[in-house]
Amino acid sequence: MSSIFNRKGRLSLLLVAVIALVIQGSIGGSSHVAQAADNVINAKDLGVKPNSNSSQSREIQNALKYFYDRGTEGTVYFPAGTYLVDDSIRLYAGVSLNGDGMGKTIFKKTGSKNQYVIGNPILRNNSDRLDVKLSNLTIDADRANREARGESQVGGMIIDVAVSHLTLDRVEISDTTIGALLRRTRDSEITNSRFDQNNGHAIATGHESYPAGEFRNVKITNNQITNSGGGSGINLSRATYTTVTGNQIINKTHQSDGYAGIRIPNSGAHNTVNNNVIENYPRGIFVLTGATDNNVYKNTIKNASLQGLLVQSDGNTFTDNEFFQTNSSLNPDTIIRLANANNNKIIGNEMTTYSGFSNIGIRVTDSSSNEIKDNITDTSGKSVSIEGGSNNVNKGNRNR
Protein backbone atom coordinates (compact mmCIF):
# COMPACT_ATOMS: atom_id res chain seq x y z
CA MET A 1 0.00 0.00 0.00
CA SER A 2 2.77 2.42 0.88
CA SER A 3 4.45 1.81 -2.49
CA ILE A 4 1.25 2.88 -4.25
CA PHE A 5 1.18 6.13 -2.24
CA ASN A 6 4.86 6.73 -3.02
CA ARG A 7 4.21 6.27 -6.76
CA LYS A 8 1.25 8.66 -6.55
CA GLY A 9 3.41 11.19 -4.71
CA ARG A 10 6.13 11.00 -7.35
CA LEU A 11 3.55 11.40 -10.11
CA SER A 12 2.12 14.47 -8.34
CA LEU A 13 5.54 16.08 -8.05
CA LEU A 14 6.24 15.34 -11.71
CA LEU A 15 2.93 16.92 -12.70
CA VAL A 16 3.72 20.07 -10.68
CA ALA A 17 7.12 20.34 -12.39
CA VAL A 18 5.58 19.97 -15.85
CA ILE A 19 2.96 22.64 -15.12
CA ALA A 20 5.70 25.00 -13.90
CA LEU A 21 7.66 24.49 -17.11
CA VAL A 22 4.57 25.15 -19.23
CA ILE A 23 3.80 28.35 -17.34
CA GLN A 24 7.42 29.49 -17.67
CA GLY A 25 7.38 28.85 -21.41
CA SER A 26 4.07 30.67 -21.85
CA ILE A 27 5.48 33.94 -20.44
CA GLY A 28 8.62 34.03 -22.46
CA GLY A 29 10.66 30.91 -21.88
CA SER A 30 13.76 32.84 -20.74
CA SER A 31 15.71 31.49 -17.82
CA HIS A 32 15.69 34.84 -16.00
CA VAL A 33 11.88 34.82 -15.75
CA ALA A 34 11.96 31.96 -13.26
CA GLN A 35 14.39 34.04 -11.15
CA ALA A 36 11.91 36.95 -11.07
CA ALA A 37 9.42 35.37 -8.71
CA ASP A 38 10.30 38.00 -6.10
CA ASN A 39 9.85 40.75 -8.72
CA VAL A 40 13.55 41.55 -9.05
CA ILE A 41 15.29 41.26 -12.41
CA ASN A 42 19.00 41.62 -13.13
CA ALA A 43 19.48 44.27 -15.83
CA LYS A 44 22.25 42.19 -17.40
CA ASP A 45 19.74 39.40 -18.05
CA LEU A 46 17.74 41.91 -20.09
CA GLY A 47 20.65 42.94 -22.29
CA VAL A 48 22.12 45.87 -20.36
CA LYS A 49 25.94 45.92 -20.43
CA PRO A 50 27.92 47.55 -17.63
CA ASN A 51 31.32 49.03 -18.51
CA SER A 52 30.49 49.11 -22.21
CA ASN A 53 31.98 51.91 -24.32
CA SER A 54 28.59 52.54 -25.95
CA SER A 55 25.46 54.17 -24.58
CA GLN A 56 23.10 51.83 -22.78
CA SER A 57 20.09 54.19 -22.81
CA ARG A 58 17.96 52.00 -25.08
CA GLU A 59 18.83 48.80 -23.25
CA ILE A 60 18.08 50.39 -19.86
CA GLN A 61 14.69 51.60 -21.12
CA ASN A 62 13.85 48.13 -22.36
CA ALA A 63 14.85 46.65 -19.00
CA LEU A 64 12.63 49.10 -17.11
CA LYS A 65 9.72 48.25 -19.41
CA TYR A 66 9.92 44.59 -18.43
CA PHE A 67 7.60 44.99 -15.45
CA TYR A 68 5.68 47.98 -16.81
CA ASP A 69 4.57 46.13 -19.94
CA ARG A 70 3.31 43.25 -17.80
CA GLY A 71 1.29 45.58 -15.58
CA THR A 72 3.18 44.61 -12.44
CA GLU A 73 5.51 46.37 -10.03
CA GLY A 74 9.12 45.28 -9.65
CA THR A 75 12.75 46.26 -9.27
CA VAL A 76 15.49 46.20 -11.88
CA TYR A 77 18.84 45.47 -10.25
CA PHE A 78 21.93 47.03 -11.83
CA PRO A 79 25.15 45.30 -10.74
CA ALA A 80 28.28 47.32 -10.04
CA GLY A 81 29.72 49.01 -13.11
CA THR A 82 29.42 52.15 -15.22
CA TYR A 83 26.44 52.45 -17.54
CA LEU A 84 26.89 55.17 -20.18
CA VAL A 85 23.71 57.02 -21.18
CA ASP A 86 23.13 59.51 -23.99
CA ASP A 87 19.34 59.83 -23.97
CA SER A 88 17.69 60.51 -20.62
CA ILE A 89 16.61 57.46 -18.68
CA ARG A 90 12.83 57.67 -18.25
CA LEU A 91 11.46 56.00 -15.15
CA TYR A 92 8.36 53.82 -15.43
CA ALA A 93 5.53 53.82 -12.90
CA GLY A 94 5.96 50.97 -10.45
CA VAL A 95 9.47 50.06 -11.57
CA SER A 96 12.29 50.74 -9.11
CA LEU A 97 16.05 50.80 -9.70
CA ASN A 98 18.55 49.35 -7.24
CA GLY A 99 22.32 49.12 -7.54
CA ASP A 100 25.28 47.88 -5.55
CA GLY A 101 25.97 51.21 -3.86
CA MET A 102 26.92 54.82 -4.43
CA GLY A 103 30.12 54.95 -6.48
CA LYS A 104 29.69 51.31 -7.52
CA THR A 105 26.66 51.34 -9.80
CA ILE A 106 27.04 54.48 -11.94
CA PHE A 107 24.82 55.98 -14.62
CA LYS A 108 27.14 58.35 -16.50
CA LYS A 109 26.32 60.95 -19.12
CA THR A 110 27.87 60.49 -22.54
CA GLY A 111 27.24 61.78 -26.06
CA SER A 112 26.24 65.17 -27.41
CA LYS A 113 22.58 65.40 -26.42
CA ASN A 114 21.63 68.16 -24.03
CA GLN A 115 19.57 65.97 -21.71
CA TYR A 116 19.58 65.25 -18.00
CA VAL A 117 20.74 61.77 -17.02
CA ILE A 118 17.26 60.98 -15.59
CA GLY A 119 14.26 62.57 -17.33
CA ASN A 120 10.48 62.74 -17.08
CA PRO A 121 8.81 59.42 -16.23
CA ILE A 122 6.26 57.26 -18.00
CA LEU A 123 3.08 57.16 -15.92
CA ARG A 124 0.09 54.86 -16.15
CA ASN A 125 -3.64 55.41 -16.75
CA ASN A 126 -3.53 59.21 -16.37
CA SER A 127 -2.37 58.76 -12.76
CA ASP A 128 0.41 60.86 -11.25
CA ARG A 129 1.35 58.05 -8.86
CA LEU A 130 4.90 56.96 -9.70
CA ASP A 131 5.71 54.42 -6.98
CA VAL A 132 9.42 54.33 -7.81
CA LYS A 133 12.44 53.96 -5.53
CA LEU A 134 15.98 54.72 -6.69
CA SER A 135 18.61 53.33 -4.35
CA ASN A 136 22.28 52.42 -4.05
CA LEU A 137 23.56 54.10 -7.19
CA THR A 138 25.33 57.16 -8.59
CA ILE A 139 24.07 59.58 -11.23
CA ASP A 140 27.11 61.27 -12.82
CA ALA A 141 26.57 64.05 -15.36
CA ASP A 142 30.33 64.39 -16.03
CA ARG A 143 29.95 68.18 -16.09
CA ALA A 144 33.58 69.21 -15.60
CA ASN A 145 34.92 66.94 -18.34
CA ARG A 146 32.15 67.94 -20.73
CA GLU A 147 32.90 71.60 -20.11
CA ALA A 148 36.58 71.01 -20.86
CA ARG A 149 35.62 69.34 -24.14
CA GLY A 150 33.24 72.15 -25.10
CA GLU A 151 30.19 69.90 -24.75
CA SER A 152 26.83 70.79 -23.21
CA GLN A 153 26.63 70.43 -19.45
CA VAL A 154 23.54 68.89 -17.95
CA GLY A 155 21.81 68.14 -14.68
CA GLY A 156 21.38 64.87 -12.89
CA MET A 157 17.63 64.43 -12.67
CA ILE A 158 14.61 66.43 -13.88
CA ILE A 159 10.93 65.79 -13.30
CA ASP A 160 8.63 68.62 -14.33
CA VAL A 161 5.41 66.63 -14.65
CA ALA A 162 3.18 66.00 -11.65
CA VAL A 163 4.23 62.85 -9.80
CA SER A 164 3.83 61.35 -6.35
CA HIS A 165 5.49 58.60 -4.34
CA LEU A 166 9.07 58.92 -5.52
CA THR A 167 11.89 57.88 -3.19
CA LEU A 168 15.60 58.58 -3.53
CA ASP A 169 17.49 56.60 -0.90
CA ARG A 170 21.29 56.31 -0.88
CA VAL A 171 21.57 57.94 -4.29
CA GLU A 172 24.58 60.04 -5.25
CA ILE A 173 24.11 62.83 -7.81
CA SER A 174 27.44 64.33 -8.81
CA ASP A 175 29.23 66.65 -11.22
CA THR A 176 26.07 68.28 -12.59
CA THR A 177 24.58 71.67 -13.27
CA ILE A 178 21.41 71.23 -11.16
CA GLY A 179 21.46 68.01 -9.17
CA ALA A 180 17.78 67.05 -8.81
CA LEU A 181 15.14 69.38 -10.29
CA LEU A 182 11.78 68.14 -9.02
CA ARG A 183 9.24 70.78 -9.95
CA ARG A 184 5.92 69.05 -9.34
CA THR A 185 6.59 66.26 -6.87
CA ARG A 186 4.53 65.39 -3.80
CA ASP A 187 4.26 62.74 -1.10
CA SER A 188 7.86 61.72 -1.70
CA GLU A 189 11.23 61.43 0.05
CA ILE A 190 14.89 62.21 -0.57
CA THR A 191 16.98 60.59 2.13
CA ASN A 192 20.48 59.35 2.97
CA SER A 193 21.73 60.65 -0.39
CA ARG A 194 24.73 62.68 -1.53
CA PHE A 195 24.95 65.66 -3.87
CA ASP A 196 28.48 66.66 -4.81
CA GLN A 197 30.09 69.12 -7.24
CA ASN A 198 26.86 70.64 -8.48
CA ASN A 199 27.21 73.95 -10.31
CA GLY A 200 23.61 74.93 -9.61
CA HIS A 201 21.09 74.07 -6.91
CA ALA A 202 21.70 70.58 -5.52
CA ILE A 203 17.97 70.05 -4.90
CA ALA A 204 15.52 72.42 -6.57
CA THR A 205 11.73 72.49 -6.45
CA GLY A 206 8.87 74.29 -8.13
CA HIS A 207 8.86 76.78 -10.99
CA GLU A 208 7.33 80.20 -11.61
CA SER A 209 5.05 78.59 -14.22
CA TYR A 210 3.36 76.40 -11.59
CA PRO A 211 1.38 77.53 -8.53
CA ALA A 212 2.70 77.11 -5.00
CA GLY A 213 1.97 73.66 -3.70
CA GLU A 214 2.71 71.71 -6.86
CA PHE A 215 5.74 70.55 -4.86
CA ARG A 216 4.42 69.51 -1.46
CA ASN A 217 4.62 67.06 1.41
CA VAL A 218 8.15 65.91 0.61
CA LYS A 219 10.71 64.84 3.20
CA ILE A 220 14.32 65.86 2.53
CA THR A 221 16.29 64.21 5.29
CA ASN A 222 19.83 63.17 6.23
CA ASN A 223 21.46 64.10 2.94
CA GLN A 224 24.98 65.41 2.30
CA ILE A 225 25.42 68.37 -0.05
CA THR A 226 29.04 69.29 -0.70
CA ASN A 227 31.35 71.33 -2.89
CA SER A 228 28.85 73.50 -4.73
CA GLY A 229 30.07 75.82 -7.47
CA GLY A 230 26.91 77.93 -7.36
CA GLY A 231 23.23 78.01 -6.47
CA SER A 232 21.65 76.89 -3.23
CA GLY A 233 22.03 73.59 -1.49
CA ILE A 234 18.25 73.19 -1.20
CA ASN A 235 16.04 75.65 -3.09
CA LEU A 236 12.40 75.31 -1.97
CA SER A 237 10.74 77.38 -4.68
CA ARG A 238 6.94 77.21 -4.30
CA ALA A 239 7.32 74.24 -1.97
CA THR A 240 4.66 73.68 0.71
CA TYR A 241 4.35 71.36 3.69
CA THR A 242 7.84 70.03 3.11
CA THR A 243 10.24 68.91 5.85
CA VAL A 244 13.98 69.58 5.54
CA THR A 245 15.86 68.06 8.43
CA GLY A 246 19.20 66.53 9.36
CA ASN A 247 21.01 67.58 6.19
CA GLN A 248 24.71 68.50 6.01
CA ILE A 249 25.10 71.34 3.49
CA ILE A 250 28.79 72.14 3.47
CA ASN A 251 31.11 73.88 1.01
CA LYS A 252 34.87 73.69 1.23
CA THR A 253 35.16 77.19 -0.23
CA HIS A 254 32.76 80.07 -0.70
CA GLN A 255 30.92 80.61 -3.95
CA SER A 256 30.67 84.13 -5.37
CA ASP A 257 26.87 84.43 -5.79
CA GLY A 258 24.20 85.39 -3.26
CA TYR A 259 22.55 82.02 -2.80
CA ALA A 260 22.06 80.14 0.45
CA GLY A 261 22.44 76.73 1.99
CA ILE A 262 18.64 76.63 2.24
CA ARG A 263 16.54 79.11 0.27
CA ILE A 264 12.75 79.54 0.29
CA PRO A 265 11.56 81.77 -2.59
CA ASN A 266 8.40 82.18 -4.69
CA SER A 267 5.67 81.72 -2.07
CA GLY A 268 7.15 78.68 -0.36
CA ALA A 269 4.93 78.14 2.67
CA HIS A 270 4.20 75.91 5.68
CA ASN A 271 7.62 74.24 5.47
CA THR A 272 9.68 72.94 8.38
CA VAL A 273 13.45 73.45 8.31
CA ASN A 274 15.28 72.10 11.34
CA ASN A 275 18.49 70.48 12.58
CA ASN A 276 20.47 71.13 9.42
CA VAL A 277 24.15 72.15 9.32
CA ILE A 278 25.07 74.80 6.73
CA GLU A 279 28.64 75.95 6.24
CA ASN A 280 30.49 78.30 3.87
CA TYR A 281 27.55 79.64 1.89
CA PRO A 282 27.02 83.34 1.12
CA ARG A 283 23.85 83.12 3.19
CA GLY A 284 22.97 80.32 5.56
CA ILE A 285 19.19 80.54 5.22
CA PHE A 286 17.39 82.98 2.90
CA VAL A 287 13.59 83.43 3.02
CA LEU A 288 12.39 85.62 0.17
CA THR A 289 9.35 87.77 -0.53
CA GLY A 290 6.09 85.82 -0.52
CA ALA A 291 7.29 82.92 1.61
CA THR A 292 5.16 82.57 4.75
CA ASP A 293 4.43 80.37 7.74
CA ASN A 294 7.77 78.59 7.54
CA ASN A 295 9.16 77.20 10.78
CA VAL A 296 12.96 77.34 10.92
CA TYR A 297 14.56 76.08 14.11
CA LYS A 298 17.62 74.43 15.64
CA ASN A 299 19.78 74.79 12.55
CA THR A 300 23.54 75.37 12.77
CA ILE A 301 24.95 77.97 10.39
CA LYS A 302 28.69 78.46 10.07
CA ASN A 303 30.70 81.19 8.36
CA ALA A 304 28.35 83.01 6.02
CA SER A 305 29.91 85.73 3.88
CA LEU A 306 26.78 87.96 3.57
CA GLN A 307 24.32 87.03 6.34
CA GLY A 308 23.68 83.96 8.42
CA LEU A 309 19.94 84.52 8.03
CA LEU A 310 18.22 86.93 5.64
CA VAL A 311 14.45 87.37 5.82
CA GLN A 312 12.51 89.39 3.26
CA SER A 313 9.05 87.96 3.89
CA ASP A 314 6.21 87.94 6.41
CA GLY A 315 4.85 85.60 9.04
CA ASN A 316 7.71 83.14 9.61
CA THR A 317 9.26 81.77 12.81
CA PHE A 318 12.98 81.43 13.49
CA THR A 319 13.88 79.91 16.85
CA ASP A 320 16.88 78.34 18.59
CA ASN A 321 19.21 78.50 15.59
CA GLU A 322 22.97 78.72 16.22
CA PHE A 323 25.30 80.93 14.21
CA PHE A 324 29.07 80.49 14.27
CA GLN A 325 31.05 83.24 12.58
CA THR A 326 34.60 82.13 13.32
CA ASN A 327 36.38 82.90 10.01
CA SER A 328 37.80 86.40 10.48
CA SER A 329 38.45 86.76 6.74
CA LEU A 330 34.69 86.99 6.15
CA ASN A 331 32.84 90.22 6.78
CA PRO A 332 29.06 89.72 6.82
CA ASP A 333 27.15 92.97 7.25
CA THR A 334 25.13 91.31 10.02
CA ILE A 335 24.38 87.83 11.33
CA ILE A 336 20.57 88.08 11.19
CA ARG A 337 18.93 90.54 8.82
CA LEU A 338 15.25 91.42 8.35
CA ALA A 339 14.52 93.68 5.38
CA ASN A 340 10.95 94.64 4.46
CA ALA A 341 9.84 91.72 6.58
CA ASN A 342 6.82 91.85 8.89
CA ASN A 343 5.20 89.75 11.60
CA ASN A 344 8.13 87.37 11.99
CA LYS A 345 9.38 85.81 15.21
CA ILE A 346 13.13 85.84 15.90
CA ILE A 347 13.39 84.09 19.25
CA GLY A 348 16.12 82.32 21.22
CA ASN A 349 18.80 82.31 18.52
CA GLU A 350 22.46 82.36 19.56
CA MET A 351 25.62 83.70 17.94
CA THR A 352 29.30 82.95 18.44
CA THR A 353 31.75 85.15 16.54
CA TYR A 354 35.48 85.65 16.25
CA SER A 355 37.30 88.07 18.50
CA GLY A 356 36.96 91.59 17.15
CA PHE A 357 33.71 91.04 15.25
CA SER A 358 32.07 94.46 15.26
CA ASN A 359 29.21 94.34 12.79
CA ILE A 360 25.57 94.38 13.86
CA GLY A 361 24.22 91.23 15.45
CA ILE A 362 20.56 91.57 14.39
CA ARG A 363 19.60 94.28 11.92
CA VAL A 364 15.97 95.17 11.10
CA THR A 365 15.25 97.64 8.30
CA ASP A 366 11.86 98.94 7.09
CA SER A 367 10.07 96.12 8.85
CA SER A 368 7.16 96.10 11.29
CA SER A 369 5.51 94.00 14.01
CA ASN A 370 8.36 91.53 14.42
CA GLU A 371 9.13 89.82 17.75
CA ILE A 372 12.87 89.88 18.43
CA LYS A 373 13.22 88.23 21.80
CA ASP A 374 15.71 86.37 23.96
CA ASN A 375 18.46 86.15 21.37
CA ILE A 376 22.16 86.08 22.27
CA THR A 377 24.41 88.19 20.07
CA ASP A 378 28.20 88.32 20.08
CA THR A 379 29.64 91.57 18.76
CA SER A 380 31.64 94.56 19.89
CA GLY A 381 29.28 96.59 17.71
CA LYS A 382 25.55 97.04 18.08
CA SER A 383 23.62 94.04 19.34
CA VAL A 384 20.21 94.83 17.78
CA SER A 385 19.56 97.68 15.35
CA ILE A 386 15.99 98.54 14.35
CA GLU A 387 15.89 101.05 11.53
CA GLY A 388 12.45 102.19 10.37
CA GLY A 389 9.22 100.27 10.58
CA SER A 390 6.97 100.18 13.64
CA ASN A 391 5.64 98.00 16.45
CA ASN A 392 8.69 95.77 16.59
CA VAL A 393 9.31 94.06 19.94
CA ASN A 394 12.94 94.13 21.09
CA LYS A 395 12.97 92.29 24.40
CA GLY A 396 15.24 90.05 26.44
CA ASN A 397 18.10 90.10 23.93
CA ARG A 398 21.61 90.17 25.34
CA ASN A 399 25.14 90.47 24.04
CA ARG A 400 27.97 88.23 25.21
What is the distance between the alpha carbons of residues 77 and 250, in angstroms, rounded to a whole number? Answer: 32
Pairing of strands 243-245, 215-221: parallel
- Residue 3 above 50 pLDDT? no
Q: Would you say the pTM of this structure is higher than 0.85?
A: yes
Length of the chain: 400
- Looking at residue 38, its pLDDT comes to 65
- Looking at residue 97, its pLDDT comes to 98
* pLDDT tens by residue, 264-306: 999 999 999 999 999 999 999 999 999 999 999 999 999 999 9
Q: With CA atoms as reference, report the closest residue to 206 among 139, 271, 280, 281.
A: 271
- Residue 14 above 70 pLDDT? no
Instruction: Select the more confidently predicted residue: 129 or 34.
Output: 129
* pLDDT tens by residue, 95-154: 999 999 999 999 999 999 999 999 999 999 989 999 999 999 999 999 999 999 999 999
Average pLDDT, the chain: 92
β-pair partners for 76? 41, 97
- Looking at residue 263, its pLDDT comes to 98
What is the distance between the alpha carbons of residues 124 and 68, in angstroms, rounded to a whole number? Answer: 9
* pLDDT tens by residue, 315-351: 999 999 999 999 999 999 999 999 999 999 999 999 9
Q: With CA atoms as reference, report the closest residue to 312 among 341, 284, 285.
A: 341
Instruction: Please give the C-alpha separations between residue 19 and each of 6, 267, 386, in angstroms, as whole numbers.
Output: 20, 61, 82
End-to-end CA distance of the chain: 96
Q: With CA atoms as reference, report the closest residue to 156 among 186, 184, 135, 181.
A: 181
